Amino acid sequence: MESDEGFKIAVEEAKKGAAEGGIPIGACLVSADGKVLGRGHNMRLQKSSPTIHAEIAALEDAGRQPASSYKGATMYTTLSPCDMCTGACILYKIGRVVLGENETFVGGEDYLKHRGIEVVNVRSAECEGLMRDFIRDHPEDWWVQNMHKKSS
Amino acid sequence: MESDEGFKIAVEEAKKGAAEGGIPIGACLVSADGKVLGRGHNMRLQKSSPTIHAEIAALEDAGRQPASSYKGATMYTTLSPCDMCTGACILYKIGRVVLGENETFVGGEDYLKHRGIEVVNVRSAECEGLMRDFIRDHPEDWWVQNMHKKSS
């Protein structure tokens, strides 16, 4: 199990999203030397935003950083990252992606690995529970644009 | 040559960015039936933003759309899309990416094609000129995080 502070913050962010009535996905970007660079959560519903996913929000919260800040950094996220957030991690040459679960959605994990990024799945029951509750209560806000669901 | 209205708007947006002192990259998202859904330009310098690239700005400007709006849509962009923007086009299942040039930067064109998205390179001297002028005048704002440059 991953017990990093970054993962705890990502879960806190997911819960903030849930409390706001949003999609409960949180993220936290931590530098190689353990500094929290940025944190955030999905704002799809709160801001009618198609692009402010949790990982994007965390990168944005970190602001413009020199390339050295991203080197060896970890993106903690409560859910397997979608294709856009996968691409964002590749763009900034983030070293590692630690994800909470991939039972409710499978994103670009294989492509991250193909591009040299380490991927760790924490298999967090808490993260999965947040997503399952949201999907049960707001299916119309989840299924519309998420077609890459696991068949299991 | 591509003479679509969408491409003209993307170039207009790139010029707006240049006028603001920003990185001159513009984009425009057009639906399959020719409706302009959104437009925008790179805001890296104007907003100290690591994620508001032109394509992201155009998607954000379009707001939340049903999946049907993206079906067969075209993302016009003045420059070959980076990995993040490549992923965003894949996420929303955009049908086609029309790019202005890939002489000053090569992004995720191969991966777009691999994921079934048509890619058209307009080879616009105007788009290339905007980028070459920017890179000449602000090399420190361009090279820091753009390593995938063409060797030619």
Q: Where are the domains of chain A?
A: 3-142
Inter-chain residue contact A60 with B51, CB threshold 8 Å: yes
Residue matched to tokens 């003209």 = B8
What is the predicted pLDDT for the residue at A145? 56
Q: In angstroms, what is the C-alpha Rg of chain B?
A: 14
Residues of chain A that touch chain B, judged by Cβ-Cβ distance less than 8 Å: 44, 48-52, 56, 59-60, 62-67, 82-88, 90-92, 108, 111, 144-145
The DSSP symbol for B48 reads T
The confidence band for B149, taking pLDDT boundaries of 50, 70 and 90, is very low
Asked if B22 and B40 count as a contact pair (C-beta separation under 8 A), the reply is: no
- pLDDT, one tens digit per residue, over B113-135 is 999 999 999 999 999 999 999 99
In chain A, which stretches have pLDDT less than 70? Answer: 1-3, 144-152
**Residue of A51, A63, A87 lying closest to B83 (CB–CB):** A87
Q: Report strand pairing: A118-121 vs A74-77.
A: unpaired
- pLDDT, one tens digit per residue, over B41-81 is 999 999 999 999 999 999 999 999 999 999 999 999 999 99
Chain B residues whose CB is inside 8 A of the A112 CB are none
Active site residue A55: yes
Asked if B7 and B28 count as a contact pair (C-beta separation under 8 A), the reply is: yes
CA-to-CA distance for A49 and A112, rounded, in angstroms? 24
The confidence band for B145, taking pLDDT boundaries of 50, 70 and 90, is low
3-state secondary structure of B113: helix
- pLDDT, one tens digit per residue, over B94-117 is 999 999 999 999 999 999 999 999
Give, in words, the CATH class of A3-142. Answer: alpha beta
